[in-house]
Structure 1
C-alpha cells in the first residue's frame, strides 16, 4: 500500500509554504498498448487462458488479454492468473504486464540485498523547518524529491502566468558595441569605493531612453494608459526563495554610483528576505541580466502591470565591421519584451534605438 506523508504545520509568518500532505501512488500510470492488436478471424473468440483455482489468490474463469500483453508475459515468464487486468472488462494489457514485471524485479533485488526482512514500521510524520523536502520511491516510479513552494515562488508563478496569458507580448532585439562602455566602467572603478557593474550602467541607459522616448514610460490600466513623469526601474534579483524585482525610484536623478549602491542593498536584503512590500511595487520597466552566466540572448516575461522588460545578455568579442573593415569588437545583445496594449511597435523601436545609442556612447549616460 502507498505511504501517506502527513502535512507539516508552518507558522504563517514564515516565507515558505507549508508542506502539503502527499500521497505516493501505488503504481505509475501508463498509456494503453502502443501496438494495436492484430485482427482476429471472423467469429474467433477473444484470447483466453484457463485459470487455476482461487485457493492461492489467483482468478477463476476466463482471462482476457491483448496479443502484446500475452507475448510480454510469456517472454518474462509470468503466469496470466497472477496478473490483474485494468483494461476493459478486466482485460490484461501492456501496462499490467509491465507493472507486474517491475514489481517482480524490485522484490527480487530487495531480497538479494537483504535476505532477512525487518518488521514493517510506521512512517514518522515529517517535521522540521518549512523547507524540508519530501521523498518517495515506489514500484515503477523513480526516486523523487518535492520542494515545497515558497510564498514568493507561488506569487511569481501566478503573476507571470497571468502576464503571459493576458498581456500581448511582442519582442525587439538589438546588438550594441560595448567597448566604450567597458572602458568607462574601468575608469569609474579606478580607485572608487563603490564599484559599478555593467548592469548599473545599463539601468542608467534604460532611464535615459525613457526620458528620450516618454511614450515608453507608461502602463496599461482598464480605463487609460497611465504615463509617468519620473523613471522607476525594477531590477530582477534571483534568491533561493524565488525571483524578486525591487524598484529603483527616479533613476534619471541618480548617479551611477548611487544606482550601484542601491542595487547592492536590494540584493543583500532580498537574499535575507528583508525587502519591504512597497519596494516591490510600481515601475514601468524591468531589467533582467543573465550575462554573468554566459547567456548571450534570451527573452523575458513582462512583470505586470509594467509595460516592458529588457533582457540583457553577455558581452562577447566577435567579428564586427566598422567603416568597411573587419575588426574584433565586444558586443552585447538585448531583447525588449513589450506590452502591445499601451505601446506601439514604432514607439518600442524608437526606444531601442535610443537605448543602443546611449550604450554605445556611454558618456551621455553620465550627463
Structure 2
C-alpha cells in the first residue's frame, strides 16, 4: 500500500521546508533508514531519513521549491501501484478549503488553478459574494510576474533571522557599554602561541576572546542568565555562541562548557563548526543552548558596532578591528594597538553595574592575556 511522505518538522520552529536535493529518482527503490532528501529548515540543511521501504512512485516538490510542514512531498509504495487518486486529492484539496473557510470559485477559474497549480490563499475574489473568477487569476499572474523583477524572495533562514532579531530588539530593552582594549600583549601572546604550533592548529584572536568571555562569565555569573516572564533562569553551563556569516544569512554555532576547555580545544571546535555552518551541514544540537554570544566584525575592518542580543541570551559582545592608535602612557604619547568592544545587555535582568563588572573583567583578561591561561 502506498505511503504518503509529508514535509517533516525538523526543528521546533520549522513551518516550511525547501527541498535542496532528492537522493532518489522516481522508480528507484529505497530502504528504511536511507536518506531520501536534503531539506533546508529555518536553521540548517538536514538529512531526511525515511522510515519505510519501497519504490519511489511520486515526487511532489521539485529541488529548490518550498512547501509547508505536513504537505505531501513524495509517495512510496510497490512498483506499478496506482496512485492516481492520491495525486488527484493533492491537486484538488487547495480549492476545497483554506483556513476552514469555503472558497467559492467559478468553473473556468477552477480549471486555471488546477492547470497552473496556483495557491488561492492570497487571491481576493471580485465576483458575487467574493467568488474567484477568471479575471482574478489573470490579475494574480500579472502581479506575480511584476514582483519577480529585481526581487529575491526570502530564504527560510533569512525569514527566521528577521523574526528572531525583531523579537529580541523589540521585546528586550537594550543598553550598550563601550570599552577600548589595549591588545599589544594579546598580539604577542597569540604570536608566541602560534610559533610553537603546526599551521592548521594556529589560534585566532576570536578563539582567545571566546575563552576570555567564558572565564569572565564564570566570575560574573549574574551575566549567564535568561529572561522568563515569571523568573530569571540561572544557567549551570557556560556555552558561548559565535556568529558565522554564511551565503544567505547567519548561523550561531555553540562552544559548550567553554570555560572548561583550553584555547586550543576551542580553536579546533570553532574551525570545525565554521566549516559545517558554511556547508549548512551543522546539526541543530550544535546551534542550541548558548548562554552568551560573540559577534566579531573586526576581521571585516569594522572599527566598532552594536549587536542585537541573540535571544534567549541576555547579552552579546561585539568585537571590532585592531588598529594602531596614539596612546598616552607615563605622560608620553606612544603608538599602541587598540580593539574596541561593545557589550549589549538586556536591561530587564542585567543592571548597569552587572554589565560594567563584566566588561571590566574581560578588559582585564585581554590586556593581560597570560591570566587567561591560568
Secondary structure, aligned partner of 1:301: coil
Moved more, 262-271 or 213-222: 213-222
- Asked if residue 162 in structure 1 is aligned to residue 167 in structure 2, the reply is yes
Aligned equivalent of 2:313, options 299, 303, 306: 306
Residue matched to 2:19: 11
Residue matched to 2:150: 145
Q: How far did residue 208 of structure 1 move?
A: 1.2
Q: How far did residue 144 of structure 1 move?
A: 4.8
- Asked if residue 204 in structure 1 is aligned to residue 204 in structure 2, the reply is no
Output the CA distance in 2 between the equivalents of 1:313 and 1:217: 23
Aligned equivalent of 1:183, options 188, 192, 196: 188
Structure 2 contact 244–274 (Cα < 8 Å) conserved: yes
Output the CA distance in 2 between the equivalents of 1:207 and 1:135: 51
Q: How far did residue 269 of structure 1 move?
A: 0.3
Aligned equivalent of 1:246, options 240, 253, 260: 253
- Asked if residue 229 in structure 1 is aligned to residue 231 in structure 2, the reply is no
Structure 1 265/135 Cα, relative in aligned 2: closer, same or farther at 3 Å?
Answer: farther
C-alpha RMSD of the superposition: 2.3
Output the CA distance in 1 between the equivalents of 2:184 and 2:340: 13
Give the unaligned 5+ runs of structure 2.
1-16, 21-37, 42-63, 68-140
Structure 1 contact 18–148 (Cα < 8 Å) conserved: no
Q: How far did residue 145 of structure 1 move?
A: 2.5
Residue matched to 1:332: 339
- CA displacement 1:257-301 (0-9 Å, x = unmatched): 111111111100001111111211112210000111110010000
**1:23-172 alignment runs, 5 A limit:** 144-172=149-177
Structure 2 contact 19–40 (Cα < 8 Å) conserved: no
Q: How far did residue 222 of structure 1 move?
A: 1.9
Residue matched to 2:80: none
Aligned equivalent of 2:263, options 253, 256, 265: 256
Secondary structure, aligned partner of 1:205: helix
Structure 1 181/135 Cα, relative in aligned 2: closer, same or farther at 3 Å?
Answer: farther
- Asked if residue 265 in structure 1 is aligned to residue 272 in structure 2, the reply is yes
Output the CA distance in 1 between the equivalents of 2:256 and 2:18: 35
Output the CA distance in 2 between the equivalents of 1:150 and 1:253: 37
Q: How far did residue 236 of structure 1 move?
A: 0.2
Output the CA distance in 2 between the equivalents of 1:201 and 1:144: 46
Q: How far did residue 211 of structure 1 move?
A: 1.3
Q: How far did residue 365 of structure 1 move?
A: 0.8
Structure 2 contact 18–40 (Cα < 8 Å) conserved: no
For this pair of structures, how many residues does the alignment match?
242
Structure 1 contact 189–195 (Cα < 8 Å) conserved: yes
Structure 1 contact 235–245 (Cα < 8 Å) conserved: yes
Secondary structure, aligned partner of 1:229: coil
Output the CA distance in 2 between the equivalents of 1:10 and 1:281: 21
Structure 2 contact 240–290 (Cα < 8 Å) conserved: yes
Secondary structure, aligned partner of 2:39: coil
Structure 1 188/161 Cα, relative in aligned 2: closer, same or farther at 3 Å?
Answer: same
Residue matched to 1:287: 294
Considering only CA atoms, is the larger Rg found in Structure 1 or Structure 2? 1
Secondary structure, aligned partner of 1:158: helix
